Amino acid sequence: AVPILAVPSETISFNEWNITVERSNILKSMCTQGANVCEKNSANCCELCTYKHALNLPHLPGLVFHKNKLMLENKYGAKMQFGPMDALKFVDNGKDEALEVACAQKWCDTRSELMKCKRFDWTFTSPYQGTLNEEFRAEPTDIPINKDKLLQREDILFFDDITLYEDELHDQGISKMSVRIRVMASGFLILLRHFLRVDDVLIRLHDTRFYWEIENDYILKEFVHREAPCSLLQDVISIWTNPDELQNYLPVAVRELHKLYF
């Protein structure tokens, strides 16, 4: 039997926000037009070639959920969204030095266009922090997200967790971008996360949280970059596949706090 997807699109109204989640199957790995690459800007350009033209990456992740998206818009016109195309636009396509690890050459050896691959960030690391329109005004702040309040017991009005893209790095680990949202009576919390594990090399988390409390005219945004070499995480090897647990063991390299006024 063909597996049935969850509802492909779902919208809820919460306070002054409309929240929409869209879901899809993965992007096809071959051009549907029977060509190596469809002509750019062609009316018949397939979804795969649309991605290739827009991103100009030597390779795409093994799994791209090209229509998965989380969108929020309020009555003032402030809009934020999280999607795979925008996330992949932040992957280094050769402008800067890519991560140098022992297994990078092995990964390249299994791909075509080896010379391009040498300067391509094969880990698909992305510092993407969401796509916000001009109705938001960002100001630095020293106010952190109130983790204690989030731990208080509260009914969940809506929850979803969608993957934007994922790659197993030729069985050398995992690179995964995902976004999840939790809506409570007091507000909502969004976690946009890129989780990278290169086996026996390093583990890295890019976490961007957005927390809105219904009495505020701003959203608190917190970006945290954590990482550590695997050699320092041998005592917790059992949780290497669990980023929710790993975040407690990874030192913070960067933390940025902003208020997003709307």
- Maximum CA pair distance of the chain? 55
Number of domains in the chain: 1
pTM over 0.95: no
pLDDT tens digits, one per residue of 145-164: 998 899 999 999 999 999 99
What is the domain extent for residue 48? 9-34+41-261
What are the residue ranges in the chain where pLDDT is below 70?
1-7, 35, 94-120
Mean of pLDDT over the chain:
89
Let me know if residue 166 belongs to a domain: yes
Let me know if residue 133 belongs to a domain: yes
- Going from the C-alpha of 60 to that of each of 150, 152, 218, 227, the distances in angstroms are 36, 40, 35, 24
Query: Which residues make Cβ contacts (< 8 Å) with residue 137, sequence separation at least 6?
Result: 260, 261, 262
Contact 249, 236 (CB under 8 A): yes
Let me know if residue 252 belongs to a domain: yes
Question: For strand 131-132 and strand 202-213, is the pairing parallel, antiparallel, or unpaired?
Answer: unpaired
Quick one: pLDDT at residue 70? 99
Let me know if residue 69 belongs to a domain: yes
